[in-house]
């Protein structure tokens, strides 16, 4: 006891604060160890559906002539009755020379063109197309609605598997998010592992425990009982997917996860695009946290349900953790520098360098273990050569550490929605059959388009 007493007496005020905050965060997050264990060993299976439900499919597209045809083709080739599916495309603020709308029409889709440069972003596009469908097709009443982005590709059994989950009584369903350009760059590898990790250690665990999960971008299904398209899409925050999720959860809805329904999307390949996207997401996360954290905590105490605690931790405490890591890193360097100041400038530089290296190695090893477990678990699912999968295990911690500043940038940067240029013109057959093939990062003429899109930070 005396040793412990002496240890605490020797601690500085910063040491005490750091220890207390770190211990509190660790206790709040401790339950996620159970999530990891479940994700590693559990399987999710739904019984065969008793009915092939009717679904409307909504695709949001802006200047997506390079990729939208492949998505529509993957829908047409689904192992599911085509007479039960109807595809609607919103060509949102497309350039005059872009052929997105023409391609979709030629492939038999119902196309709506929207031009409103003052109100940009997916939320406005969804609001527009849902209201237009309700006006132009008042008698069309499917059982549910799929929402995709134009860069997505669907595994051949995607809708069949989602239908199983839906037929089992789940009104909102999200799916497994894989990448069609996994090995294109460090950025695409890092982002891909991030979403695979989320599917494996968050969505899967929640579903096994019968706890609601959340929508992640695209690739989801919503029952018409919940989504009345006559009222459009009301979610306007930067991360409309997270806002939709939390809003439905606080109103008592559950979001299920279908691990066997796999879709692929395209990840940014440059740091500029990655930062632009992540700053917008971070800003949106702050907006959602500000609007819903108190309601989640209130519901947690009123109902005693774990789901509200889980969502508050995942979307609020996780932000605080990253913020705390940055604060601790900065204050820690200042502290060791001040302690070494009496020994001269060289001693200060050495102390800061050692402390920085220690922190970076610690962060790296933690993220390395987390990312490697996800990649190894889903090794066979990832559509990339083995060398790229192995490289991704080492790239993921670097990717996440490089994104730490986004926590601060999301607070102060002006975040506006800007399109991400999608260039991976690859079919579902190419992606799923020839896994050894290397997808190109960008064609020369597409570099110009990407740079133009990157010219403004969101």
The pLDDT of residue 423? 66
Rounded to an integer, the average pLDDT of 286-315 is: 92
Is it the case that residue 246 has pLDDT exceeding 80?
yes
CATH architecture under which domain 13-458 falls = Alpha-Beta Complex (3.90)
Best mean pLDDT range from 20-24, 43-47, 412-416: 43-47
What is the bridge-based pairing of β-strands 55-61 and 153-154? Answer: unpaired
Q: Report which of 64, 151, 123 is spatially closest to residue 416, judged by C-alpha positions.
A: 123
Q: Where are the domains of the chain?
A: 13-458
pTM, entire model: 0.87
221 SS3 class: strand
Torsion of CA 291, 297, 299, 305, to 10 degrees: 130
**3-class secondary-structure state, position 120:** coil
CA pair distance 67, 201, nearest whole angstrom: 30
Q: Give the tens place of pLDDT for each residue, 255-289.
A: 999 999 999 999 999 999 999 889 888 888 888 98
Q: Is residue 180 within 8 Å of residue 71, measured between CB atoms? A: no
- CA dist., res. 268 & res. 276, Å (int): 10
**Chain mean position to CA 271:** 17
pLDDT tens digits along 78-136: 999 999 999 999 999 999 999 999 999 999 999 999 999 888 889 999 999 999 999 99
Structure tokens at 78: 């689904």
Angle between helices 271-303 and 240-250 (to 10 degrees): 10
pLDDT, mean over the chain: 87
pLDDT at 311: 93
Rounded CA gap, 150 and 72, in Å? 9
Q: What is the mean pLDDT of residues 334-342?
A: 78
The CA-based dihedral angle spanning residues 187, 190, 191, 195, taken in that order and rounded to the nearest 10 degrees: 170
**Tell me: the pLDDT tens digits for 187-230?**
999 999 999 999 999 999 999 999 999 998 899 999 999 999 99
**In this structure, what token pair is assigned to residue 49?**
């559906």
Distance (Å, whole) CA 130 – CA 137 = 10
CB 91 within 8 A of CB 113: yes
In percent, how much of the chain has pLDDT > 90? 63
The pLDDT score that the predictor gives to residue 316 is 76
% of the chain residues with pLDDT over 70: 88
**Where do runs of H (alpha helix) occur along 42-157?**
68-76, 100-106, 122-136
Give the 3-state secondary structure of residue 60. Answer: strand
Q: Say if strands 144-149 and 55-61 run parallel, antiparallel, or are unpaired.
A: parallel
Q: What is the pLDDT of residue 455?
A: 38
For residue 443, the model assigns a pLDDT of: 38
For residue 418, the model assigns a pLDDT of 66
Confidence check: pLDDT of 450 > 60: no
| pLDDT of the residue at 376 | 96
């Amino acid at each position: 006891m005396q040793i412990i007493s002496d240890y605490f007496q020797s601690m500085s005020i910063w040491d005490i604060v750091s220890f207390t905050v770190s211990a509190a965060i660790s206790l709040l997050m401790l339950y996620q160890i159970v999530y990891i264990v479940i994700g590693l060993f559990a399987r999710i299976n739904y019984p065969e559906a008793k009915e092939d439900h009717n679904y409307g499919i909504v695709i949001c597209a802006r200047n997506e002539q390079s990729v939208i045809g492949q998505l529509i083709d993957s829908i047409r080739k689904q192992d599911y009755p085509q007479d039960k599916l109807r595809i609607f495309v919103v060509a949102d603020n497309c350039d005059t020379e872009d052929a997105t709308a023409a391609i979709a029409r030629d492939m038999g889709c119902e196309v709506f063109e929207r031009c409103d440069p003052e109100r940009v972003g997916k939320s406005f596009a969804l609001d527009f197309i849902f209201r237009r469908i309700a006006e132009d097709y008042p008698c069309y009443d499917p059982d549910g609605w799929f929402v995709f982005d134009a860069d997505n590709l669907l595994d051949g059994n995607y809708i069949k598997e989602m239908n199983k989950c839906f037929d089992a009584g789940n009104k909102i369903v999200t799916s497994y998010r894989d990448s069609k350009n996994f090995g294109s760059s460090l950025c695409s590898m890092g982002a891909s592992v991030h979403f695979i990790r989320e599917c494996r250690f968050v969505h899967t665990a929640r579903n096994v425990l019968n706890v609601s999960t959340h929508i992640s971008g695209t690739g989801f299904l919503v029952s018409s009982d919940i989504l009345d398209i006559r009222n459009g899409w009301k979610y306007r925050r930067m991360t409309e997917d997270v806002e939709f999720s939390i809003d439905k959860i606080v109103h008592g809805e559950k979001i299920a996860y279908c691990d066997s329904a796999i879709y692929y999307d395209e990840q940014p390949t440059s740091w500029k695009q990655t930062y632009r996207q992540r700053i917008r997401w971070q800003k949106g996360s702050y907006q959602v946290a500000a609007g819903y954290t108190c309601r989640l905590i209130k519901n947690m105490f009123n109902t005693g349900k774990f789901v509200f605690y889980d969502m508050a931790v995942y979307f609020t405490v996780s932000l605080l953790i990253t913020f705390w890591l940055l604060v601790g890193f900065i204050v820690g360097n200042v502290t060791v520098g001040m302690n070494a100041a009496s020994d001269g400038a060289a001693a200060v530089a050495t102390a800061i360098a050692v402390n920085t290296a220690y922190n970076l190695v610690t962060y790296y090893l933690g993220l390395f273990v987390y990312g490697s477990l996800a990649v190894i678990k889903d090794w066979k699912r990832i559509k990339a050569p083995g060398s790229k999968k192995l490289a991704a295990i080492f790239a993921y911690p670097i990717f996440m550490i490089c994104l730490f500043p986004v926590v601060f940038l999301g607070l102060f940067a002006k975040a506006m929605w800007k399109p991400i240029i999608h260039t991976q013109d690859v079919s579902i057959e190419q992606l799923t059959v020839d896994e050894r093939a290397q997808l190109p990062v960008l064609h020369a003429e597409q570099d110009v388009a990407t740079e133009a899109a990157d010219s403004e930070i969101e």
